[in-house]
Structure 1
Amino acid sequence: MNSNNNIITIPQGIWPVMVTPLTEDLKINYPGLKALIQWYESAGVHGLFANCLSSEMYELDENERLDLTQAVVDTSIVPVLTTGTFYTDAHENAAFINKISETGVDGVVLITGLLAGEDEDDSVLEESIRVILEETEDIPLGLYECPVPYKRLLSPALIGKLAKENRFIYSKDTSCVAEVVVEKIEAAKGSSLAIYNAHTPDALDSIRNGGAGISPIGANFYPELYTYLWENGRGEDISDDLVAVEQFLVENDGIVHHKYPLSAKYFLQLRGLPMAVNTRKDVPELEAADITEIEALYQRFLTLCDRIGIQQAEVVA
């Protein structure tokens, strides 16, 4: 692997993994996408991860991935990341990374589970990364321990090795183990590679230990709460309000994940977004009990915001 001395970084903070609004006939709803982007930004997010698992990336064809990414870049006033690996062949992945980077994104993310087979060791993974680095010139890259096709976790040692390349700017960590996340933060310290925790239950722990930010699916429900966690959780003091916000996020994490992304799209609809509650994913439909639970979550969210004084993100008409 070749070292690059031109260190590029992205803003620390909250990077939602974007959902994709769809029309009734399951095409990308671009007016709805624009409203969603402006809503995220109203909540104070620091960047957007488009064309990811939450975006239904595997259900999009290549042109849709390019068009979706381009639309986010053209609309967003914050930096944008996108996924660039959809093949098992490193050369094919490099070719698509080069293509999708032309949209103007700030970085292209590699899916670790597509860089080596589940039964192959890290030497295969590293060889795939070497090919990609060599064939993508100076494009800033990210890493994503995506659960699909399988979750391939990166060890702290490998994070430290990749950090020395100075080509990596983002790693979405899904290890869901607080101690491991901190080890990866330490391994990447001093480099351009920044660790963004996907796991809400230990999100506060990670940012208090030097993590660069959070990339949770919960930011598709109430990004304001994650922004609050980021802005108020890095100091020495832990206020009662901060504890209340963290407890709310952790206690409701199961609802967020249940029948996702339909759960998120219904919640966004409640929040006033022009969002059909549909998906190309094979997810069971929301039942009456699910709807009742999500509506109750929405009311609890409103109550929490009122009590603490958190300004809710605005929907631009």
Structure 2
Amino acid sequence: MKFQAKGIIPAMVTPLTQDYKVNEPALRKMIDYFIKGGVHGLFVVGTSGEFYGFSPEERRSIFEITVDEAKGRIPVYAGANGITTREAVELTQLAEDCKVDAVSVLTPMFISVTQQELYDHYVSIARSTSLPMLMYNNVTKTNVNISADTVARLSEIENIVGVKDSSGDFTLTGEYIRKTRGKEFSVLCGRDTLIHACLCYGGHGAITACANIAPRLMADIYDKYVAGDVAGSLEAQFLSAPIRMAFNLGSFPTVLKESLQLLGIDAGPSFAPVGTMSTENKELLKKALKEGGVLA
């Protein structure tokens, strides 16, 4: 049976020391915290994980630590994001060497590409690995959008098993679902406020930044939905909304890391030039976390 990407998968932050090194003990504790919180996978070195700040060898270290600490309890998804096809292929092969379960590949960024070039890009990466691969659409960060027709074409490739859509355009997410329905292909929501809606429309889960802060709450959106408690799923979605809406209180991903610090979880700084939040905004963040039920 084909690998199925599903459930609530934290888009994990990467804990750093004050001199911007990977904090291995903190990372291991964080992984265990997420698994005990009931999540269904772990996604490392993505946007929330500040992939852009790490060398290939640092990425290797994060992948290996995560695989080792997860111990097969849930799948590990590795970000293999590069501007060029060559870079994405190299990072995908590095991830495969670290024995992750799947890779997620963001569209190219900085450069503008056609849909045919996007198609060729993803096919080349898929052919370079035996790993299951997710496409990752995040147009607000990359200015490159994968069309629904391109996703439908790429869903025919054996080891391209899904797409994460962070566009926030639910018409596009819905078209991804409609045009790949009936296939062994997963559409995962990347906009945390739309997870319940995505499930109702036929989606398969989410790769979510809020699950860093509230893993059990975010897992409830999925678990309650698949158990038939649609109202309970929606209530969990509503409860999580203040947490997601607080993300604009600081430069990304500092709000995630500040939230974890407030919860007693060592996340360290974000890579400079991203700094800390203002005192005023930290108070607003505390209020949002209390509204979301994660801070007393």
Q: Same fold (TM over 0.5)?
A: yes
2:153 alignment partner in structure 1: 161
- Check whether the contact 2:43–2:78 (CA below 8 A) recurs between aligned residues: yes
> What fraction of aligned residue pairs are identical, expressed as a percent?
22
Q: Distance in 2 between matches of 1:200 and 1:96?
A: 27
1:113 counterpart = 2:108: yes
Shifted more, 290-299 versus 36-45: the winner is: 290-299
Consecutive unaligned residues of structure 2, counting only runs of 5 or more, are: none
Alpha-carbon deviations, 1:75-106, whole Å to 9, x = none? 11210111223241x23432332222110111
Alpha-carbon deviations, 1:244-283, whole Å to 9, x = none? 432232344220343232211121122221333x111432
1:71 maps to a residue whose letter is I
1:309 alignment partner in structure 2: none
Helix, strand or coil: the match of 1:15?
Answer: strand
2:271 corresponds, among 272, 280, 286, to 280
Q: Distance in 1 between matches of 2:198 and 2:19?
A: 40
1:246 alignment partner in structure 2: 237
1:172 alignment partner in structure 2: 164
The 1:69/1:159 distance shift into structure 2, 3 A limit, reads: same
2:12 alignment partner in structure 1: 18
Shifted more, 294-303 versus 98-107: the winner is: 294-303
The 1:158/1:288 distance shift into structure 2, 3 A limit, reads: same
Q: Distance in 2 between matches of 1:262 and 1:80?
A: 23
Q: Distance in 2 between matches of 1:169 and 1:262?
A: 31
1:185 counterpart = 2:180: no
Shifted more, 41-50 versus 222-231: the winner is: 222-231
Helix, strand or coil: the match of 1:170?
Answer: strand
2:220 alignment partner in structure 1: 228
1:42 alignment partner in structure 2: 36
Q: Distance in 1 between matches of 2:87 and 2:16?
A: 28
2:29 maps to a residue whose letter is A
Q: Distance in 1 between matches of 2:88 and 2:260?
A: 33
Across the two proteins, how many residue pairs are aligned to each other? Answer: 293
1:70 counterpart = 2:67: no
The 1:299/1:152 distance shift into structure 2, 3 A limit, reads: same
1:123 alignment partner in structure 2: 116
1:291: how far off? 1.2
Q: Distance in 2 between matches of 1:176 and 1:146?
A: 9
Consecutive unaligned residues of structure 1, counting only runs of 5 or more, are: 1-6, 307-317
1:101 alignment partner in structure 2: 96
1:254 maps to a residue whose letter is M
1:214 counterpart = 2:210: no
1:222: how far off? 0.8
- Check whether the contact 1:108–1:142 (CA below 8 A) recurs between aligned residues: yes
Alpha-carbon deviations, 1:214-255, whole Å to 9, x = none? 11211111121111111123466643x544432232344220
1:83 maps to a residue whose letter is G
- Check whether the contact 2:15–2:267 (CA below 8 A) recurs between aligned residues: yes
Shifted more, 228-237 versus 187-196: the winner is: 228-237
- Check whether the contact 1:51–1:83 (CA below 8 A) recurs between aligned residues: yes
1:178 maps to a residue whose letter is F
- Check whether the contact 2:76–2:101 (CA below 8 A) recurs between aligned residues: yes
Q: Distance in 2 between matches of 1:137 and 1:15?
A: 22
Shifted more, 254-263 versus 222-231: the winner is: 254-263
- Check whether the contact 1:166–1:192 (CA below 8 A) recurs between aligned residues: no
1:185: how far off? 1.2
1:85 alignment partner in structure 2: 81
Q: Distance in 2 between matches of 1:197 and 1:149?
A: 16
Helix, strand or coil: the match of 1:128?
Answer: helix
- Check whether the contact 1:261–1:279 (CA below 8 A) recurs between aligned residues: yes
- Check whether the contact 1:59–1:281 (CA below 8 A) recurs between aligned residues: no
1:261 corresponds, among 253, 260, 263, to 253
Alpha-carbon deviations, 1:137-181, whole Å to 9, x = none? 422211111357614222221111111112112311012122321
Residue correspondence of structure 1 range 23-34 to structure 2 within 5 A: 23-34=17-28
Q: Distance in 2 between matches of 1:148 and 1:256?
A: 15
1:197 alignment partner in structure 2: 189
- Check whether the contact 1:10–1:79 (CA below 8 A) recurs between aligned residues: no
